Structure 1
Amino acid sequence: MSPRDPGTEVDPPTVPHGIPLLDEKAAPVVGETNEVLIITGCSGAGRTGAARALEDLDWYVVDNLPPRMLPALVGMMAPGGEGVHRLAAVVDVRSRAFFTDLLETLDQLKLMGAAYRVVFLEASPETLVRRYESNRRPHPLQGEGTILDGIAAEARLLEPLRRVADEIVDTSGMSVHDLTRHIRDVVAGAEERPLRVTVESFGFKYGLPLDADHVLDVRFLKNPYWVDELRHLTGRDQAVAQYVLSQPGARDLAIGYADLLATMLPGYLAELKPFATIAIGCTGGKHRSVATTEVVASRLREKGFAVRVVHRDLGRE
């Protein structure tokens, strides 16, 4: 889905509903690499879930934003270098009177040269009623009527915006995870967030890492601690690494373990978990686990993974 073309020819702006439109010559310059996404649609259709998915993809998300504030916010985006380059604004009928100004606000964004996309979330009335009843919350537009009355009123209000949306997403049959996957596919494209892998050595006597997804115990290897000339060194020193990894099967274990991990790690992204922590432990977290961690991390890098190495317990003795 391509971004909306901001256009090159725009009629002179008027002032709708008292909103001051930007003069074309005074409009802020919006960087070509900036992205603006407007999330809107039916109450109960999953706007909050979409916002959370975007936050996980490193978008700057503003929820329940009055539309008339959107041009100023877009104008503050960084034209290059550091700063906000991916902005998502969640706009809904909680803004009440402000919401009716959204179409005019979109015209302002065109004047600014902002390439934006509108994603409209909806669901069947039956699905929306079920969601509201399960949450035991009233629909924001039902007033003294029923939930269905509120849904119908909102549908009438949203129809003009639905017609100009770039992407219409029916969430009726979607779980929270399904919606997250869909939003990721809409915005990520070729720049999908990579998996972040941490390979961490630790000492069992200091406790297991609380966030470990996998744990490998290498205490079966001979301990360099009992070798006087190696005791004061660590697994990052060549002498210790040689002592540990030259033991029968030690290096093959580290390589084989990394190869096994490489087959399963892509599944983390498929299940919307963009990080994985591999913990490798020995008694004190100084010798065997450190040497093994370095080999596992190196092998995973060879397989194309972005790997961060942490030696949690070095220096604790």
Structure 2
Amino acid sequence: MIGGTPVAESEQQPASEILIVTGMSGAGRSTAANALEDMGWYVVDNLPPQMLGPLLDLSGLAASALPRVAAVVDVRGGSLFAELPQVTRALRSAREQLRVVFLNASDDVLVRRYEAVRRPHPLQGDGTILDGIRRERERLKSIRETADIVIDTTDFNIHQLATHVVDLFGERGAAQHTLTILSFGFKYGLPVDADMVADMRFLPNPFWDESMRSLTGEDEPVRQFVLAQPGASEFLDAYTAVAMPVLAGYQRENKRHSVIAIGCTGGKHRSVVMAVELARRLTEAPGVAVRVAHRDLGRE
């Protein structure tokens, strides 16, 4: 029995991975939760400890739909939070996949973070931010001592913390960044979500060749024509060399998605060919999943 809630029977199928995320207020629980959610975890924030049992029972019954579950539990739960050590011990005995992650930071860094956002510490009451931090440390002492993973965020910014969480809990071999290479036509406007834009109008336009006018960049005659033009291969080589360190930097900064937009006049011939060819080269970028989309290919 956990806080009045029965623990699931051992024969129930548990979720493949279960995390309880807790720790000091201001140490980065929200950043960690967001990083987990971006990786496909099912994240529940500010969950009373007494609800952990039912939540994990649900994850066991729906393991395929909820393969990875993270519950953020903290002092915002008030008096209910006091039962977390008891709840955690009971759940550990029933579930081998359960891990507790504790986020910590030094007092002075926590004070600065609270002062930066101009919010009170949840436990400071009529005292100072530091008073609240000290009260919270005392309440969390036993939880920290039994945590499976302690992450000290004192020297982390939010991007470094998110990257660290990805390193710890991301699927091995899974892409850390998704890149969309989008062909488009300038006459229909720039893509609003583009991180980088390249202009293919320096290449001759197949549109003016009547034999290719009705074709697109997905057709082999157009592809051969575009790639045979002076500057096409040089552009692909140079742009690939430029994009590789950018994509590596995006991963270091925990930017999970980006768009490279490749444009020509109508988005039908040159941009389509060059987007596909650039994608083929950038699939070699470590940790990057590449997809190609053609925004204006179906337009008249």
Q: TM-score, normalised by structure 2?
A: 0.89
Pick one of 245, 267, 272 that aligns with 2:249.
Answer: 267
Pick one of 11, 20, 31 that aligns with 1:49.
Answer: 31
In structure 1, distance between residues paired with 2:107 and 2:227: 63
Report the AA paired with residue 244 of structure 1: V
Q: Which ranges of structure 2 fall in alignment gaps of 5 or more residues?
A: none
Q: Which moved more, 1:205-214 or 1:263-272?
A: 263-272
> Are the counterparts in 2 of residues 198 and 277 from structure 1 also a CA contact under 8 Å?
yes
Pick one of 163, 168, 186 that aligns with 2:168.
Answer: 186
- Give 4+ residue runs of structure 1 displaced > 6 Å after superposition: none
> Are the counterparts in 2 of residues 51 and 61 from structure 1 also a CA contact under 8 Å?
yes
Pick one of 250, 257, 269 that aligns with 1:287.
Answer: 269
Report the AA paired with residue 30 of structure 1: P
Q: CA deviation at 1:262?
A: 3.5
Pick one of 231, 239, 244 that aligns with 2:221.
Answer: 239
Q: Sequence identity, in percent?
A: 49
Pick one of 13, 26, 31 that aligns with 1:29.
Answer: 13
Deviations 1:153-183 (A, max 9, x none): 2221111111101122222232112222222
> Are the counterparts in 2 of residues 212 and 277 from structure 1 also a CA contact under 8 Å?
yes
Q: What's the C-alpha RMSD, in Å, of the aligned pairs?
A: 2.4
In structure 2, distance between residues paired with 1:258 and 1:55: 30
> Are the counterparts in 2 of residues 36 and 114 from structure 1 also a CA contact under 8 Å?
no
In structure 1, distance between residues paired with 2:166 and 2:192: 28
Q: Which ranges of structure 1 fall in alignment gaps of 5 or more residues?
A: 1-14
Is 1:248 aligned to residue 230 of structure 2? yes
Q: TM-score, normalised by structure 1?
A: 0.85
Matches of residues 190-229 of structure 1 in structure 2 within 5 Å?
A: 190-229=172-211
Aligned to 1:7: none
Pick one of 149, 152, 155 that aligns with 1:167.
Answer: 149
Q: CA deviation at 1:191?
A: 4.0
Matches of residues 53-132 of structure 1 in structure 2 within 5 Å?
A: 53-77=35-59, 82-132=64-114
> Are the counterparts in 1 of residues 12 and 61 from structure 2 also a CA contact under 8 Å?
no
Q: CA deviation at 1:263?
A: 4.7
Q: Which has the larger radius of gyration?
A: 1
Report the AA paired with residue 308 of structure 1: R
Q: 1:300 to 1:108 in 2, by over 3 A?
A: same
Report the AA paired with residue 86 of structure 1: R
Aligned to 2:296: 313
Matches of residues 115-154 of structure 1 in structure 2 within 5 Å?
A: 115-154=97-136
Aligned to 1:19: 4
